[in-house]
A = this chain, B = another copy of it.
């Protein structure tokens, strides 16, 4: 009767009964084979197989004080960059027998805090998070770390002390874009910077600007636009830029989400890339090579970002003694040159307002 309520529930004890041993022995046969006579072990495995036994991870984790689980908090799995990070995490996790709990914070600090709490409740072995700006979360993260939870940040830095971060060399990546444009002769630039309150945005802007300045070229702040990191944000920013007189000859877009919006604006404005405007953007995507013209981009190693973060957590769990010390891992970026930039025209007297020719269908 009692058994009937959960027909599928097979416990170690059931396996033990069938194999004629005690539950302890079953446990040992499964987790520490060397402690059990081969013959006994064989009988137990056979019984387990016959009954379709699967160990109850909840009970195991409860006893072991920690589950083989990694919590992943990202802003939005629909953004290909995040999906790649997630894949990297999941691959490494599953390779080591860990499960991945996926949480979409939607860039909302309150959701992020809630998830942090939820994951703690699940006794996860570690948390990988892409932190939003905000001191409340930073403090929460610090508290978690102090209480012994392993936390690794990806893509951004919250500023919390004692946390390891894995991210791209945003400075270097943006600088390589700047250098490339400079080498083509460009001297006037616009930047669609996106959300500069998060570290990645800040770093990319600083990298781009710094590289220019090292070459004695200054970036006019009126041509640097902040906006939400979304296609819509990019679209609006681009529209605003294109509506102004004296458009610079080159544009740097700080991520691919915004870039897709920029392309829409480009199309609507009837601008010719790279004829009238050279463009480089951060992030490689499936479609960067498919659009017209193929885009020159700064590629991040998104998969490796996630993979590395997960590896740090798993390794710190395996050798459980050593307390992880915090550090920052930077993964290099790579400039992929395609066809969205061309040499700056020697010296147009002064940049004429872009012509208003009708959209080229």
Interface, chain A (partner B; CB < 8 A): 6-9, 52, 54-59, 61-62, 65, 67, 72, 76-78, 80, 83-84, 86-87, 90-91, 94, 99-104, 115, 117-118, 120-123, 143-144, 146-149, 231, 260, 263-264, 285-287, 289-292, 339, 361
Given contacts A290-B264, A291-B290, contact A90 B103 (CB under 8 A): yes
Q: How far is the CA of A141 from the CA of B80 in the complex (A)?
A: 31
Partner of A83, one of B55, B77, B118: B77
Name the B residues within 8 Å of A121 (CB-CB): 54-57
Q: What residue of chain B has the Cβ atom nearest to residue A293's Cβ?
A: B361
Given contacts A57-B123, A123-B58, contact A77 B67 (CB under 8 A): no
Q: What residue of chain B has the Cβ atom nearest to residue A102's Cβ?
A: B102
Partner of A86, one of B77, B260, B263: B77
* Contact, CB under 8 Å: A291 / B292: yes
Q: What residue of chain B has the Cβ atom nearest to residue A59's Cβ?
A: B62
* Contact, CB under 8 Å: A123 / B87: no
Report 28 cross-chain contacts, Cβ distance below 8 Å, ordered by A residue: A8-B146, A8-B148, A8-B149, A54-B121, A55-B121, A56-B62, A56-B121, A57-B118, A57-B121, A58-B61, A58-B62, A59-B62, A62-B62, A72-B102, A76-B87, A77-B87, A78-B83, A78-B87, A80-B80, A80-B286, A83-B83, A87-B104, A100-B103, A260-B286, A263-B290, A287-B290, A290-B290, A290-B291
Q: How far is the CA of A146 from the CA of B9 in the complex (A)?
A: 11
Name the B residues within 8 Å of A61 (CB-CB): 58
* Contact, CB under 8 Å: B289 / A291: no
Q: How far is the CA of A121 from the CA of B59 in the complex (A)?
A: 10
Q: What residue of chain B has the Cβ atom nearest to residue A99's Cβ?
A: B101
Q: What residue of chain B has the Cβ atom nearest to residue A117's Cβ?
A: B54
Greatest chain B CB density within 10 A among A6, A86, A99, A147 is at A99
Name the B residues within 8 Å of A91 (CB-CB): 104
* Contact, CB under 8 Å: B104 / A102: no
CB distance from A190 to the nearest CB of B (A): 20
Q: What residue of chain B has the Cβ atom nearest to residue A60's Cβ?
A: B121
Q: What residue of chain B has the Cβ atom nearest to residue A147's Cβ?
A: B8
Greatest chain B CB density within 10 A among A58, A61, A72 is at A58
CB distance from A310 to the nearest CB of B (A): 12
* Contact, CB under 8 Å: A100 / B99: no
CB distance from A102 to the nearest CB of B (A): 4
Name the B residues within 8 Å of A6 (CB-CB): 65, 148
Name the B residues within 8 Å of A117 (CB-CB): 54
Q: What residue of chain B has the Cβ atom nearest to residue A148's Cβ?
A: B8
Name the B residues within 8 Å of A101 (CB-CB): 99-102
* Contact, CB under 8 Å: A52 / B143: yes
Name the B residues within 8 Å of A100 (CB-CB): 101-103
* Contact, CB under 8 Å: A54 / B120: yes
Q: What residue of chain B has the Cβ atom nearest to residue A303's Cβ?
A: B78
CB distance from A86 to the nearest CB of B (A): 6
CB distance from A259 to the nearest CB of B (A): 9
